[in-house]
Structure 1
């Protein structure tokens, strides 16, 4: 079985494990980041016309502190986020065509007749793209509500993974965010990371993640048109001998 390193946060590994196993891959958890909850203070949904959830994780952290009307108009970045909201009973959900900050801005701009003058509550991690925030006050208003923050994590299996890299037994590495990539650099350092990644298929989810790698001189082998793990698995399967 081909080994695929998954660098996303530990609790999220189980969500994608079976996707890889079904196609004959051996997914290996290597969480280079961890999440820490940020308490919500004085949040009032009535202050916003729309709530934007950038991930399933943002929904989970948000609802630990907040109870909101599930008929509230929400924009979900990604089909997984939308599916999770539906399961929770949310009924008024919109999804941008492209699952990224840029895709979100494009979606709002394309529907500006409907969104002009509206106020959005952007619910996400403390870290993230400022693309939408930079537009606030022009045709619409965006206010950030951070519900968690991301920090580097030191995985338990560093020695094992380093040996697999040295023996060229890693087929691919998946980075689902710039933070996971920067966490990888934090674990191995720049030179060793460059050495390890030049001998594997480097997969990224999203153009922001792609840019993060390329800005530091790393090559990207796989970037799906739709920014999901399902698409990563499909593309990896095409590469598998």
Structure 2
């Protein structure tokens, strides 16, 4: 039985779990990060740390944000007297490892989902810290501001163009040579950067739509694939394990397995 070869485009330091899942499900993983993440100790992050006692809530949208605090401010989570909201199981699990219980996590792992939960609970006139990457969408801070909250946004890490373009170019060559069965994207930037490196987007769109199984982690990433006119699928729950389970189910169904 042929093993499906699955391309993983997420940052290298966060791709280990995805590769392990692919192997466990009976596939072979090809890692070609189209995004690099770098924790940074910015002035805005310093200000957030300095004013942590004024926070009613702090929102973590990415594991990398927690990595950044552990790197620059390892005592940050000590005596932090506020509530915690997260987007995603992975981020919530990392907080629990810090000894912190999560107060709010939406079923819909998106900024829209979290804003909806804050709206349902009528959380207003609070001071909310959001450490994140500067390239993130404005949906979350704007949505919370619209509920009359004071929102403090701090840049905790940078989302960078991939340092190793060669691995992405090698992946594109493998796609053109029919050596890849499926490809996964876990954020809008993983899609954008992938096509920035490509020398023939039209050809690549056709290959991803017609020759590969293209899988997005959720609808926000899917919207960017829509912009490029790539056909794709995404799971009901926006996590890496669910994305991989869907990928293998669809691949096996289409290959008569």
- TM-score, with structure 1 as normaliser: 0.91
User: CA 1:166/1:215 → structure 2, altered by over 3 Å: closer, same or farther?
Assistant: closer
Q: Deviations over 1:201-235 (max 9, x none)?
A: 11111221111111232222x21111011111111
User: CA 1:2/1:147 → structure 2, altered by over 3 Å: closer, same or farther?
Assistant: same
Kindly report which structure 2 residues correspond to 1:184-223, keeping only aligned pairs within 5 A, or say none: 184-189=194-199, 190-198=201-209, 199-220=211-232, 222-223=233-234
Aligned to 1:143: 152
Kindly report which structure 2 residues correspond to 1:1-241, keeping only aligned pairs within 5 A, or say none: 1-39=3-41, 40-42=45-47, 43=49, 44-66=51-73, 67-68=76-77, 69=79, 72-112=82-122, 115-135=123-143, 136=145, 138-153=147-162, 154-158=164-168, 160-189=170-199, 190-198=201-209, 199-220=211-232, 222-239=233-250, 240=252, 241=255
- Partners of 2:120 and 2:97 in 1: how far apart? 28
Question: What secondary structure does 1:41 align onto?
Answer: helix
Question: What secondary structure does 2:231 align onto?
Answer: coil
Q: Deviations over 1:70-109 (max 9, x none)?
A: 5641101111111111012113432111101111111110
Runs of 4+ that moved beyond 3 A: none
Structure 1 unaligned residues grouped into runs of 5+: none
- Partners of 2:169 and 2:132 in 1: how far apart? 33
> C-alpha root-mean-square deviation of aligned residues, in Å?
1.8
Partners of 2:184 and 2:214 within 8 A in 1: yes
- Partners of 2:17 and 2:80 in 1: how far apart? 24
Structure 2 unaligned residues grouped into runs of 5+: none
**What's the CA shift for 1:161?**
2.1
User: CA 1:92/1:228 → structure 2, altered by over 3 Å: closer, same or farther?
Assistant: closer
**What's the CA shift for 1:117?**
1.0
- TM-score, with structure 2 as normaliser: 0.86
**What's the CA shift for 1:119?**
1.4
Partners of 1:76 and 1:95 within 8 A in 2: yes
